[in-house]
Amino acid sequence: MIAVLKKTATRQQIDNLTGWFEKQGLRVNESQGEFCTVLGLIGNTAGIDVDLLQGLDIIETVTRISDSFKQVNRKFQPEATVVDIGGVKIGGGNFAVIAGPSSIESEEQIMNAAMIAKVGGANILQGGTFKSRTSPYDFQGLHEEGISFLVKAGKEVGLPVVTEILSAEQLPLFDEVDALQIGARNMQNYELLRALGKSSKPVILKRGQAATVKELLMSAEYIMSEGNENIILCERGIRTYETYTKNTFDISAIPTLKELTHLPVIADPSQATGKASLVKRMAMASVVAGSDGLEMDVHPNPESAKSDGAQSLTGVQFTEVMEATNKARSIL
C-alpha cells in the first residue's frame, strides 16, 4: 500500500501516522520527494481502511498495490482450477452446460425438463427448490419435496444436479445434491458464504445485482478462505437504468474474471436478459467471450411456468441454442 502525503504535512504528523501504521504491524518505508512524501507500507495491509486514510487531512491519496483477493487470485495460482460436479468437469478447458427449470413445480415437470436438458446436450441438471422471490406471495418452491424430485430426475437421465441454497441451516437437506448455488441476492450473505466454505460441495456463486467484479471475487475469497476451493463464478447481469432487458449482461466481466482469477467462470444468459428470444445470441457471445460454461432455464411449458417463464427455453429452443453454442465453441 502506498500513501502519498500532502506537502503541507508536518514532520510531527508524518511521525504520528508512521507510528500508527507500525502499531498495525506494518513496516513503513518513507521516501521524501520534492513535492510530497510517499509512505510505502509493507506487511499485511488487508485490515487497513483505505477510506479512512483518504479522509485524513494530511493524506493526498492512498493506493493498494496488491489486490485484496488472495486465494482466488490468478497471480498466486496461475493454473486454472477445475471444478468437478458429480463427475462433470468445469474450467481449465472443460466446458459444461447447466440447464433446468427456474422452479421445480412437480415430479412430472422436472422429469420433462430433465429430458429436455439431457436431449439438448446439457451436462448438469438444475432446478429451483427454495426460491428467492421479491414477493412473499409468489411461489416459494417445493422445498424438500422438490429436492427429492430433482435428485430422482437427475438419476433418471444420468445428470448430476444443482440447486440454490438460501441459508446455512438448510445445508443438511442437500446431501444428495451435487453442487449448490448462491443466488445474486445472497452474494454478500457472508454467513452463507462461510458455511459453504466449510463444506466440500462445489459452489456456483452468482454475481450480485450491484456487485463489482472485485466484490464478486471477494465473496469467492470468503468461501475459499474457509477451505472450499470448488467455486464457479457466474455472470448473470447487473442492474442498470436500462429496462428493456431484465438485467444488463456485463459480458466483458467474463474475460475480466478469467484474467483475475483461476476459478471457472460461467454465464447465465437467461437471467441476464430475461427474454428467451435473446438467449441464443447471448449464449454464443458468452462462449466466444471465454466462458467455461453456461447456465440456462428450460421448461417443458414456459407459458405456465411458476417463475421466469419469459426467459425459459422450450425443448426445441434449447436444442437450437445448444447447436449454436457448439458452433461457437468450434472456433476457439
Closest distance of CB 108 from a second copy, Å: 17
Which of residues 230 and 311 has its CB atom nearest to a second copy in the complex? 311
From the list 304, 298, 299, 268, the residue with the least C-alpha distance to 283 is 268
DSSP per-residue codes, 34-86: SS-EEEEEES--TT--HHHHHHSTTEEEEE--S-S--TTBTTT--SPP-EEET
Which of residues 208 and 264 has its CB atom nearest to a second copy in the complex? 208
User: Taking CB under 8 A as the rule, does residue 290 contact a second copy?
Assistant: yes
User: Taking CB under 8 A as the rule, does residue 38 contact a second copy?
Assistant: yes
Which of residues 50 and 157 has its CB atom nearest to a second copy in the complex? 50
Stretch that binds a second copy, among 51-59, 77-85, 171-179, 314-322 (CB under 8 A): 51-59
User: Taking CB under 8 A as the rule, does residue 190 contact a second copy?
Assistant: yes
Site for a second copy (CB under 8 A): how many residues? 110
Closest distance of CB 152 from a second copy, Å: 25
Closest distance of CB 4 from a second copy, Å: 5
Which of residues 27 and 145 has its CB atom nearest to a second copy in the complex? 27
Burial 276-308 (b: 16+ CB within 10 A, else e): bebbbebbbbbbebbbbbbbbbbbbebeebbbb
User: Taking CB under 8 A as the rule, does residue 10 contact a second copy?
Assistant: no
| 111 Cβ contact partners less than 8 Å away, ≥ 6 residues apart | 149, 152, 153, 156
Closest distance of CB 125 from a second copy, Å: 22
Binding residue for a second copy, selected from 119, 210, 227, 316, defined by CB under 8 A: 210
User: Taking CB under 8 A as the rule, does residue 106 contact a second copy?
Assistant: no
User: Taking CB under 8 A as the rule, does residue 188 contact a second copy?
Assistant: yes
Residue 119: CB atoms within 10 A of its CB come to 13
